[in-house]
Amino acid sequence: MLGSTLLSAATALFFLPAVFSAPIASAPSVSVSDVSTTISTTKSNAIQRMTTVFVEKQSEVQTYYDTIMAVDASTIDMAFASNVCGHLSDMLRETINGVQAASTVAEDSVAVKVNVATLIEAIVGILSCVFGILYHILEILKDDVVPLVQGVLVVVFALLKVVVTVVGDVVLPLVAQVVVTVVGLVPLIKNIVDCDVNGILTIVAYLGIKL
């Protein structure tokens, strides 16, 4: 399976430049009001704990997105990109660890209905910010930064695989439904694909998103 071949992305961390001058571009808004948001599961408690992990991480990633988008583009170089991709990978790995920890508690054997709207919203929110940051640095540094971007995409895919192990594959179609309704996200993914970042194609195919 593809997940078994994933390699860990190792990038050095540097301090962010202190001067920010560019206007902040907000990440796409996320809404799940138009998709089915309940599933039958015997892992209701795990899903609730996992949702808490994703919501907290979404807030952190959103703050980081705002910070990166406020950096003067003229100061963005390979050292900066290494810092950014390394930090994104770290945040995604922390999410993976949190999700795995949330899934270790014993569950009741009776299936119950669980609303996964907040979970879907948080997952898509994280993807929106991560893809937005990656495309931003690709626009500036072009092909030189592709290996760093691919390293982050490896961790994104690993995170999606962990979600499947906890919830099952029923959530991924819901994520895909929301992704295609978020203004600007699919064009953003298409633009990343145009930069020859093959890892995004794997993620898109895994989610079942039609570009």
Chain segment 167-209, per-residue pLDDT in tens? 877 888 889 988 988 888 898 999 999 888 889 999 999 999 9
| Residue 50 neighbours by CB under 8 Å, 6+ apart | 98, 99, 102, 103, 119, 163, 166, 167
- The three-point CA angle 126-127-132 to 5° equals 105
Single pTM value for the model: 0.83
Please give the single-letter amino acid code of residue 69. M
Q: Which of 3-7, 100-104, 207-211 has the highest mean pLDDT?
A: 207-211
Half-sphere exposure of 149 (CA within 13 A, CB side): 27
Chain segment 36-74, per-residue pLDDT in tens? 677 777 777 788 888 999 999 999 999 999 999 999 999
